[in-house]
Structure 1
Amino acid sequence: MKALFIVDLQNDFCPHGALPTPKGDAIIPVVNKLMSKFDFVLASKDWHPEKSVHFKKWPVHCVHDTHGAEFPSSLTVDKIDTIFLKGTDDKDDGYSAFEASNINLADYLKKNKITALYVAGLVIEFCVKRTVMDALKHGLNTFVVKDAVEGIYQNPGDVPLAFEEMKNAGATIIHSSEIVGGRE
């Protein structure tokens, strides 16, 4: 079984959010097209408490039950089977979806016989990369859909370095056209 995993595609990581990616909203049409090609569509959300140690490093973002923590309205959310909430503890950064507090992602994948994880979402240098690295540690065939991820570009070179690190760790970098056909 294969699953599409959408990492933190939330309002606060889109261009007008509290911790914006320059083109975060541009990946939404790609992600929407990908959803129909998978047995499971899973997603994570940063779901931070109002006072979190995480906000010593980052601007306040994705506070639970706020507009910023929600998915953008243009994302086809009715196709998402399960949402994994992370960063829910005030002492937890929650970068990897494998750190979700509401559902154990590793157990969920095993129970549903998911052996291949295709990753899309935001922010590639942090949450996407950490989720991919943990997926690899759990023995999953892991793919990063390069036109369905975006970064915040905090430091020059961070995004290419993230791709390189994931590839060197064993992830396969692919284009959405290899899944849905045609070249965008």
Structure 2
Amino acid sequence: MKALILVDLQYDFLPGGTLAVPEGDQIISVANEWIPRFELVVATQDWHPANHQSFASQHAEKQVGDVIELRGLEQVLWPDHCVQGTPGAELHADLHADRITRVFHKGTDTFIDSYSGFFNNCHQHSTGLAEYLKTHAVDEVVIMGLATDYCVKYTALDAI
């Protein structure tokens, strides 16, 4: 079976959000066109605690874009984004979410980021996405979302 994985279609990654992808809002209508083509549609949702250590605001004298070491991993510092329970963390309201069978949260560990929809960045914690796809006999995935240079890329690499 083929599945569609929608990566982080959240307000904070759209124009006006704290970590906006230019013209990122255009993906919502494209996703809605693709959703009916799949029996199984899942989504990922960046879901950080307010004190997530990938936020530059959590490090004195550090700025967005600085790189630090965090738990033995290189970590780019980001603006606060997709904080659990905030409007910026929500999936876009125009997304046909009624067809999404399950949403997988990532980035929930305060000290380890998670770009991939499958694992955290040190590959020590699974989101459950791989297991879910296996239980549904998924052997092919199509991945779309935001942003290609991080979360879509790492989700695709871990899907292989």
TM range (shorter): 0.7 to 0.9
Pair 1:109 & 2:142 matched: no
The one-letter code sitting in structure 2 at the alignment partner of 1:60 is D
Root-mean-square deviation (CA, aligned residues, Å) is 1.3
- Matched to 1:82, the amino acid is R
Alignment partner of 1:80 is 2:80: no
Match of 1:164 in 2: none
Q: Deviations over 1:30-69 (max 9, x none)?
A: 1001000001000000000000111130000000111000
SS at match of 1:98: coil
Higher helix share: 1
Conservation of the 8 A alpha-carbon contact between 2:5 and 2:141 = yes
> Residue 83 of structure 2 aligns to a residue in which SS?
coil
Cα displacement (A) at 1:21: 0.5
1:103: how far off?
4.6
1:46·1:86 contact (CA, 8 Å) conserved in 2?
Answer: yes
Q: 1:105 deviation in Å? A: 1.2
Q: Does 1:9 align with 2:9?
A: yes
Q: Which runs of 5+ in 1 are unaligned?
A: 137-184
Give 1:80 deviation, angstroms: 0.6
- 2:86 corresponding residue in structure 1: 66
- In 2, distance between residues paired with 1:10 and 1:102? 21
Distance, in Å, in 2 between the alignment partners of 1:69 and 1:104 is: 20
1:98 and 2:118 aligned: yes
Identity among equivalent pairs (%): 46
| 1:75 CA displacement | 0.9
